[in-house]
Structure formats: C-alpha cells, structure tokens
C-alpha cells in the first residue's frame, strides 16, 4: 500500500513536471491542422477547427464529392495526422474534438 | 532514492506511451476490419475480379515466398497490383492471377487453397488467347456488328523485324502473326466452313476473326495466312466502354484508340506497344500515329514524346540501334514509366548506370511496399542513402521513418490560386465583356455571431475559435457562370507566439459565414481583384500581423469595397499578444457598409471551376 501511494504521488508529480514542460498556457496552439484523406487520396481535407473548417464542413464537402463521383460513394475518410500525447495541451482536444475520433491511416498504407 | 526511482520509471512509462505508435503488422488486420468496408479483405463475396492479392493477406503471406524464388521483384510487384481475374470459388478457393500477356496466348497463375488460405496447389497455365477470350464471355455470334479494327498483322509484323509505314484504317482482320506480310483486306472464310460476314450498321463492337486452329497447322484454308481446315472463328469485343473520339459507333477509330482497345482486350502486350512506340519515332518523328497522315496537330502528345526520345537518344545513347536496345529501353519504360519520361525529357542530363540503379531501387521499394512516395520523399531518400544495392531497403526505410516522424502537422489541401484563376476566369477578355457580370464577395465568419470578440472558447480546453475571412470571385461571361471561393491560411499549426508562417490558399467552398457583402464589379475591376488576390499571396501568414482578414480586406478594398480596417488586441489571460484585424471586427464593420448586398448567416457556395 505504502509503495502504491508512493507510486501514485510520483506519477502525479511527474505529470505536473511534464505538463509544465510541454504546456505553456502562453504559447498554446490556436490554429491546428488535422489532415484527412480517403485511402487513395481521391479526396483530401484539412480540418482547421479554429478557423471554422471543422468536421461538419469536411463531411459536407465529402458528401458533395461523393455525389459528383458516384463511383466513390463507398469511400471512407481516414485521419492521417497522428495523435501526439507529448502535447499535453492537446489532450482535452483529443477527447473533445470529433476530428480525432476518425480512424487513422498508417503512412505505409497511403 | 525510491522517489527518484519511481519518478524515473514513471517518466519512462510516459515516454513509452507518449507517441501514438503506428500499429504493428499483427494488429493491422484488426485495424482494417474496424475501419474499412469488409469486402476488400478476406473474401465475403464470390466475385473477386475487382480484388488484388493484397486483399487476401493470408494467401499473400504464403504465396510471396514462392514467387520470390521464381520471379523478379518487379514481376512480383506487378502480380500484387494486378487483379484476381477469375471468379473466386467459395468451396475450392481457387485464385487466378494474370502473369503475362502475349499476342496469342497468356500465362496465368492458378492457385487452390484450403480453408485457411494456405496453398494446396499452384501451377502456371498457358492459354491460347482465343480460348481465353471465349472463357471471359466474348460472344461467338453470326449476327456480326460493324467491323472496326486495326490491321493487327501489320502491327505485329514489327516483332518479326518488319516495318510499319502506315496503318491506313481500322478494319476487319485476321488475327494471325505467322505471315504478317500477306494481304488481309477482309475477314477470311476458312475452307472448313467459315462465317460469311455481313456488316450491319451497328455500334459498340469490334470484330476479330481468328483462324480455326493454331496458325502453324497445315491445311487448306483459303486464307493465305490461315493454314488450317477448321472453320474460322469470330470474336467480338465490346467497345461501348472505350473512349473513342466521335462516340463508340464511330467507324474511323484513331490508331491509338485501336491500340488501346487491343490492349484492353489483351490482344497486345504493353511491351510490344512500347517497343513499337520507340521505334516508330525514328520512322516518323513528327507523327507516330499512322492514321494521322502527318497532321501533327492531331497528335501533339505523341510528337512531344518523340521529340524528347529522339533528342535523348541522340545526346545520351549514341550507339543505340539494335532490337535489344529497343527492348531494354521499352522494358525501362514499361517498368518505370514516370522515371522514363522524366529521364528522356532532359537530354542535357544523361542518366548513368549508377543513377539508374538508384532510381530503380527506389521505385521497386515504393512499389513493393505500396508507399506512393512523393517526389520530395523520393529525392530525400536518394540524397541520404549510401548504397543503392544491397542494404538500400533498410536505409530507405529508416530515412522514411525519420522523415515521417519529423513531419510537421501541415495542411495537404492547398490549391494553386493562379492555376485556379486561369481555369475559372482565364478566358475573360474585357473587350467583349459588355454583357458580362462580375462580383466579389467578402465573407466573415465571426467567432461569436454579432460580436467584435476576436476569439471564443477556452485555451485550456483546446477549443479556441478565431473565425475566418474569405473571398468569392464570380463571373457571368459568355453565358457561363464561374466562381471561386478561397481563403488565406497558415501552412502549419500556429500558436499565439508564432511569427510568420508560409501561407497557403485553400478552397473555402461550402464554408459557413456569419456576415457577407457582395459588390458588383466592372470587368477591369474584376481583373484587378484577380491580380490583387495573386499579389497578396506573397505575404506570409502571421496571426498578429497579416492574417486571413488582412488578406480579404486588402483584396476587397483594392476594388472599392471600402470596409474599415479595425484592429483589436489579442488578449489571453492578462497578456496582450499584439493587435490585428480579425473576422469579429470585420463582420461588424461589414454591417456598417452602405453599399453592397449584405447577407447575414449561411454557407458559402462551392467553387465550380477548379
């Protein structure tokens, strides 16, 4: 029990240190990009939520694309930008921003 | 000491899980199954001719070691990229891959697997082309449609060392390569009871008549090229899906259209075609389309190809002459088409053998792993590798991995504004634009509707919104309406402390806005708006100095909109980070305009002329 508590406290301490190192509230990213594509890049889109290019806009554009190109109606969108857990300032965004919930396409499959 | 130990180990754990690691291969299938349509992986359907070997991972894993023993990497790559050509049999689990196509037969790889997709039987089968065509469902029928076909014997005579001066037209022919120099003016009728061919005015079909037996068979056919006694056979090829100038019913097929059809029908292999193409440049450097009759304007693409090829041949291949040379270079062309074309396009930079080896290694690496490397990635790999022979793949993998890890989170969606402007408005001439209409719209998407606030959200929750400003140029000219919706963005992530970041233009069609204003322009003003839009892209993006709103206002005011250039400070917490124009202020300033049509709220139209 004693060691468990010690481990827990160390973890919390470590978290704070890392948070201070990597998340400076005066230097947070305002405009970030999340890239998306279909498997063979028939359609690409970059979500820049801060500037209103959000997932809804992407889905609208993707729908337009599929309507214009019925042969691609079964294509799916994949995220190509990786999640970087070192960027602690983005952790909340990773949970809250729907863009990050899209499946990721590994680079060797692009 | 213990605390230090725990701190260190915890840090280690954090670092270990810090990066979202690429999934290891064992997990890849699970990943695929969760995220893609099921029909492209282990078969759930009977039809497989739209699938490749990669869609059967277990089979691929078992088959590749066998293929590697027998075939060259590029042949394996081709097989991996070719489609499974026959129906997949759910019970037998038999697969057929096309290995090689010749002009009168094909080689196919037949594989039978067990339920676990492990190989039970594998063999290579040689099939004569006619049987193959029939197997694929081509119709033998006496209700013959119009014949439109190339004189394939003349074409194939090239392989026998003959020359082709001119293919006069696409017409009926005998598929026979044994006596290519013989006359072939109409479909033959074998003495064994050949078909009398009537030619109704039909469309979408071409006809190939083949000897009723193998060409070398001795017999009494009336056709001098077809020495056999069995009835001649007729094969139809549906051309409805071919791209033919003048529509599928056009009789006068262009030479290359014929060739294209032959290729699609597997009557020619691409190597034949490429050797022919190279050789024909010497015979007819201005126009390699024998049907073109020397009219270069009808075949500009081929002329350009020949110009490059002959120039490269003269400068870099002084001893080039033999058929073997042609076959080597056709093989290069076949296996590395992009590299071939870029090589011959630059005759001042002859490729030496070492260089060729490196390019070939890179392309094999790219094909083998289906990487679709960009030109930039390929250049970096070639610059950094120390060998192009053994060990290249390991080095290239390492370089590529480093490159991908170091890649910034940048956008992949930039458009070339100048090219788009030309595509949309390139044909506008103000001398004949009296009845044309032009307009510019400035859109502001405020972070908070009807507010001058320049941002919303919470930095701690990583959901800040700063809004966006963008433009639409629209023309109605010569009864054609074109519009382009575009905006100014940073190329990669921008923080509040970021300085200048290279800009990029993105298509903002279908983007929401809170306020917009549209003003009509004269043709000259419209041209000025285009020029200003392009000129202003010289600026870098700087959130606090020159941002999307600066760009939008600069262009719109250059053609007389007259919107205010209101700046507000960027305040986060208790700190001010500079002052700049922003969509919040712009939206409110637009409402104060007395000219122009103001719209409140909506979604911008899509750009229609990219």
Cβ-defined contact of A30 to B495 (cutoff 8 Å): yes
Cβ-defined contact of B461 to A37 (cutoff 8 Å): no
**Amino acid B135: pLDDT:** 59
3-state per-residue secondary structure call for B160-181: HCCCCCCCCCCCCCEECCCCCC
pLDDT at B206 over 60: no
CB neighbour class for B42 (10 Å; exposed up to 12, middle 13-18, buried from 19):
middle
Q: Shortest CB distance from B466 goes to which of A26, A30, A92?
A: A30
H helices present in B144-284, as ranges? 152-157, 255-264, 270-283
For the entire predicted model, the pTM comes to 0.46
pLDDT at B93 over 60: yes
Average pLDDT over residues B101-114: 68
Question: Is B459 in the A-facing interface, judged by CB distances under 8 Å?
Answer: yes
Average pLDDT over residues B118-131: 71
**Amino acid B403: pLDDT:** 66
CA distance A87 to chain B (A): 9
**Amino acid B32: pLDDT:** 24
Cβ-defined contact of A10 to B497 (cutoff 8 Å): no
**Amino acid B551: pLDDT:** 95
Size of interface A-B (CB pairs under 8 A): 161
State the Cα–Cα distance between residues A19 and A21, nearest whole angstrom. Answer: 5
Average pLDDT over residues B386-395: 83
**Amino acid B64: pLDDT:** 83
Give the model's confidence band at B213: pLDDT under 50 very low, under 70 low, under 90 confident, else very high. very low
Mean pLDDT is lowest, of B10-19, B229-238, B385-394, for B10-19
Cβ-defined contact of A84 to B18 (cutoff 8 Å): yes
**Amino acid B21: pLDDT:** 35
Tell me the range of A16-25, B336-345, B559-568 where mean pLDDT is highest. Answer: B559-568
pLDDT at B414 over 70: yes
- CB under 8 Å to B204, separation ≥6 — which residues? B145, B238, B239, B240, B248, B249
**Amino acid A97: pLDDT:** 83
Cα Dmax for chain B: 102
Q: Which residue has the tokens 């519009």?
A: B483
Average pLDDT over residues B552-562: 92
Q: Which residue has the tokens 């009557």?
A: B267
- CB under 8 Å to A1, separation ≥6 — which residues? none
Query: Which residues of chain B are within 8 Å of residue A91 when distances are taken between CB atoms?
Result: 462
pLDDT at B191 over 90: no
Average pLDDT over residues B200-228: 42
Average pLDDT over residues B475-479: 85
Question: Is A43 in the B-facing interface, judged by CB distances under 8 Å?
Answer: no
Average pLDDT over residues B576-598: 90
pLDDT at B57 over 90: no
Give the model's confidence band at B532: pLDDT under 50 very low, under 70 low, under 90 confident, else very high. very high
Cβ-defined contact of B7 to A14 (cutoff 8 Å): yes
Give the residue with greater pLDDT, B369 vs B272.
B369
Question: Is B467 in the A-facing interface, judged by CB distances under 8 Å?
Answer: yes
Question: Mind listing the pLDDT tens digit for each residue in B306-326?
Answer: 888 889 988 888 888 776 777
Give the model's confidence band at B341: pLDDT under 50 very low, under 70 low, under 90 confident, else very high. confident
pLDDT at B228 over 90: no
Paired strand residues for B210:
B175, B233
Going by C-alpha positions, the residue among B78, B77, B85, B74 that lies closest to residue B108 is B85
Give the residue with greater pLDDT, B517 vs B280.
B517
- Rounded to the nearest integer, the mean pLDDT of chain B is 67
All residue ranges of chain A with pLDDT < 50 are 25
DSSP state of B589: H
CA distance A70 to chain B (A): 16
Vertex B498 angle, CA B494 and B504, to 5°: 50
How many CA atoms does the CB half-sphere of B80 hold within 13 Å? Answer: 24
**Amino acid B61: pLDDT:** 82
Query: 65-104 in A: which are within 8 Å (CB) of B?
Result: 74, 76, 78, 80-86, 89-93, 96-97, 103-104
Mean pLDDT is lowest, of B78-87, B156-165, B461-470, for B156-165
State the Cα–Cα distance between residues B536 and A94, nearest whole angstrom. Answer: 35
**Amino acid B483: pLDDT:** 92
């Amino acid at each position: 029990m004693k060691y468990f508590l010690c481990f827990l406290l160390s973890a919390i301490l470590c978290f704070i240190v890392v948070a201070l190192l990597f998340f400076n509230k005066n230097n947070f990213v305002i405009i970030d990009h999340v890239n998306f594509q279909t498997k063979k890049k028939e359609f690409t889109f970059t979500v820049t939520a801060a500037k209103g290019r959000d997932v809804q806009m992407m889905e609208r554009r993707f729908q337009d694309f599929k309507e214009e190109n019925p042969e691609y109606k079964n294509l799916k969108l994949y995220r190509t930008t990786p999640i970087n857990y070192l960027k602690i300032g983005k952790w909340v965004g990773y949970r809250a921003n729907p863009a990050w919930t899209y499946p990721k396409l590994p680079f060797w499959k692009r | 000491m213990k605390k230090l130990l725990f701190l260190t180990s915890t840090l280690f754990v954090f670092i270990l899980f810090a990066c979202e690691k690429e999934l290891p291969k064992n997990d890849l299938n699970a990943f695929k199954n969760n995220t893609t349509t099921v029909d492209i992986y282990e078969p759930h359907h009977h039809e497989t001719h739209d699938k490749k070997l990669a869609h059967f991972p277990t089979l691929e894993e078992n088959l590749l070691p066998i293929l590697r023993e027998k075939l060259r990497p590029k042949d394996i790559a081709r097989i991996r990229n070719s489609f499974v050509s026959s129906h997949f049999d759910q019970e037998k689990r038999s697969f057929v891959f096309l290995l090689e196509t010749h002009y009168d037969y094909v080689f196919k790889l037949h594989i039978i697997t067990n339920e676990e997709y492990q190989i039970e039987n594998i063999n290579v089968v040689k099939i004569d082309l006619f049987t193959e065509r029939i197997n694929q469902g081509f119709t033998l029928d006496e209700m013959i449609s119009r014949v439109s076909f190339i004189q394939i014997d003349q074409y194939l005579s090239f392989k026998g060392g003959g020359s082709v001066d001119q293919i006069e037209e696409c017409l009926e022919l005998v598929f026979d390569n044994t006596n290519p120099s013989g006359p072939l003016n109409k479909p033959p009728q074998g003495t064994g009871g050949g078909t009398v061919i009537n030619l109704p005015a039909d469309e979408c079909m071409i006809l190939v008549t083949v000897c009723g037996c193998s060409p070398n068979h001795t017999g009494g056919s009336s056709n001098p090229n077809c020495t056999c006694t069995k009835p001649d056979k007729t094969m139809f090829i549906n051309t409805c899906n071919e791209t033919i100038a003048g529509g599928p019913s056009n009789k006068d097929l262009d030479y290359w259209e014929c060739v294209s059809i032959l290729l699609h029908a597997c009557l020619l292999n691409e190597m034949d075609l490429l050797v022919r193409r190279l050789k024909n440049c010497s015979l007819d450097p201005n126009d390699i389309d024998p049907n073109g009759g020397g009219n270069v304007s009808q075949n500009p693409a081929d002329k350009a190809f020949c110009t490059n090829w002959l120039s490269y041949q003269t400068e870099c291949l002084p001893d080039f002459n033999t058929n073997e040379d042609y076959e080597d270079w056709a093989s290069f062309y076949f296996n590395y088409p992009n590299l071939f074309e870029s090589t011959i396009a630059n005759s001042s930079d002859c490729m030496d053998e070492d260089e060729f080896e490196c390019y070939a290694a890179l392309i094999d690496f790219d094909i083998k792993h289906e990487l679709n490397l960009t030109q930039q990635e390929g250049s970096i790999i070639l610059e950094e590798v120390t060998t192009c022979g053994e060990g290249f793949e390991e080095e290239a993998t390492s370089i590529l991995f480093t490159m991908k890890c170091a890649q910034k989170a940048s956008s992949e969606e930039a458009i070339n504004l100048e090219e788009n402007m030309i595509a949309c408005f390139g044909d506008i001439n103000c001398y004949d634009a009296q009845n044309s209409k032009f307009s510019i719209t400035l859109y502001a998407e405020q972070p908070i509707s009807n507010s001058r606030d320049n941002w919303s959200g919470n930095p701690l929750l990583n959901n800040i919104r700063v809004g966006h400003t963008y433009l639409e140029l629209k023309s109605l000219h010569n009864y054609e309406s074109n519009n382009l919706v575009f905006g100014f963005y940073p190329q990669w992530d921008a923080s509040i402390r970021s300085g200048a970041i290279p800009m990029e233009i993105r298509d903002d069609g279908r983007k929401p806005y809170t306020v917009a204003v549209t003003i009509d322009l004269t043709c000259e003003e419209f041209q000025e708006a285009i020029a200003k839009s392009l000129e202003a892209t010289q600026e870098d993006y700087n959130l606090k100095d020159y941002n999307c709103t600066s760009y939008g206002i600069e262009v719109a005011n250059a053609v007389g909109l007259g919107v205010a250039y209101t700046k507000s400070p960027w305040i986060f917490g208790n700190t001010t980070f500079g002052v700049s124009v922003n969509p919040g202020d712009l939206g409110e300033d637009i409402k104060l305009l007395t000219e122009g049509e103001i719209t409140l709220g909506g979604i911008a139209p899509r750009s229609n002329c990219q």
